[in-house]
Amino acid sequence: MKEKTSQVITPDQLLEHWQGHRRLTRRVIETFPENEFFTYSIGGMRPFADMVLELLGIAEPGLREIVTGQTTQLNEYFDHGNSKAKLLEAWDSATEQLNMLWAQMEEMDFQKQIVSFGQFPGTVQSALFYFMDNEIHHRGQAYVYLRSLGIEPPMFYDRSYI
Amino acid sequence: MKEKTSQVITPDQLLEHWQGHRRLTRRVIETFPENEFFTYSIGGMRPFADMVLELLGIAEPGLREIVTGQTTQLNEYFDHGNSKAKLLEAWDSATEQLNMLWAQMEEMDFQKQIVSFGQFPGTVQSALFYFMDNEIHHRGQAYVYLRSLGIEPPMFYDRSYI
């Protein structure tokens, strides 16, 4: 297939796509009752808070690793004292950090071979799509948790600013 | 941000990304017991079969609309007689059709403004990512259904050929 004149998706569009998904995930976190966020589970799966800790452990550290080239370890925990506000604070901090890190992506070759978190081989683009797809996957699970709690989740297609 | 020399993701990579997700979704369909595939539900949500009908209604018709420019209506049902084999057959047919349609995307401007299914405005790329994200979202929900049935779903990161 010959080279296109226009990008399939530009770097700026990819960041906006990511942050749009992150805005929706933030809204899903907000929708959870405080207690159920940390405790509610179906079929032996993790509570959504634990999935969010995974997402926080991936997004900013993963992008920083891509930007700096410094291998980082996957860390899916920090001391949050079962406070949703603390996780939302971490979420918002990551949102800003992703924007700042992305500003350093001007010269990035998205096709470059990398090893994410020192263990997952791929390219810059495949890693970034994995980060996003993984978030969509777990957030979809949170929708089932919410529905089974009798709570209506945010609309999937609403990626607007809060 | 200035223009990159390399694509973030090429058209061929995007198709492979999509088909990789579709291979995983196919595996999830296969993992469901026949009866539960059509009937099992949590929190008043649709059985996974109904979500798969939605995915089938979107992928091939949505891409055909993009390729031909002919407006199509969203149709999320066909007579499947509660047969998983029939849905898998439709899935495999769509897999081939997507490949054939994609071969006509050589001159496609992924940034072109379109209105999917005559009602959802966006661009070619935003429509395609929506199709994929929506599939990941619902498949994530199917993982919860399977776990709550005591069944281990396929690994999320395994997009290999069957």
**Does B8 sit within 8 Å of A110, measured CB to CB?**
yes
Superfamily of domain B14-148 in the CATH hierarchy: dinb family like domain (1.20.120.450)
The answer to whether domain A11-70+80-148 has CATH 3.30.420.40 is no
State which amino acid sits at residue B50: D
Is A5's pLDDT higher than 60?
A: no
Q: Give the closest of B4, B17, B134 to A11, CB-based.
A: B4
pLDDT of residue A2: 47
Each domain of chain A, given as residue ranges in start order, spans 11-70+80-148
Residue B62: CB atoms within 10 A of its CB come to 22
Across the range B94-111, mean pLDDT stands at 97
| pLDDT value of position A92 | 98
pLDDT single digits (tens) A141-160? 999 999 999 999 999 988 88
In the DSSP assignment, the letter for residue B162 is: -
- Give the Å distances, CA to CA, from A38 to A49, A137, A144, B34: 5, 18, 15, 33
Largest Cα span, chain A: 54
Question: What is the predicted pLDDT for the residue at B133?
Answer: 98
Output the pLDDT for position A162: 57
Q: What pLDDT shows up at residue B108?
A: 96
Q: Do A146 and B42 touch (CB under 8 A)?
A: no
Residues B43-74: tens digit of each pLDDT: 999 999 999 999 999 999 999 999 999 999 99
What band does A6 get if pLDDT is binned at 50, 70 and 90? confident
User: Does A135 score more than 60 pLDDT?
Assistant: yes
Question: Is pLDDT above 60 for B17?
Answer: yes
Whether the per-residue pLDDT at B129 is higher than 50: the answer is: yes
**Closest approach of B162 to chain A, Cα-based (Å):** 20
The percent of residues above 70 in pLDDT, for chain A, comes to: 96
Work out the burial of residue A14: count CB atoms within 10 Å of its CB; fewer than 13 is exposed, 13-18 middle, 19 or more buried. Answer: buried
Reduced to 3 states (helix: H, G, I; strand: E, B; else coil), residue B141 is helix
What's the CA gap between B131 and A156, in Å, rounded?
Answer: 12
CB-neighbour burial class of residue A23 (10 A; exposed 0-12, middle 13-18, buried 19+): middle
* DSSP string covering B33-95: -HHHHHH--STTPPPHHHHHHHHHHHHHHHHHHHHH------------TT-HHHHHHHHHHHH
Mean pLDDT of A22-27: 97
Distance from CA of A156 to the nearest CA of B (A): 8
Q: What is the pLDDT of residue B93?
A: 98
- Are B122 and B114 within 8 A, CB to CB? yes
* Interface contact A70, partner B, CB < 8 A: no
B62, HSE (Cβ side, Cα atoms, 13 Å): 25
Contact A43 B106 (CB under 8 A): no
pLDDT category of residue A126 using cuts at 50, 70 and 90: very high
Which residue of chain A has the CA closest to B129?
Answer: A17
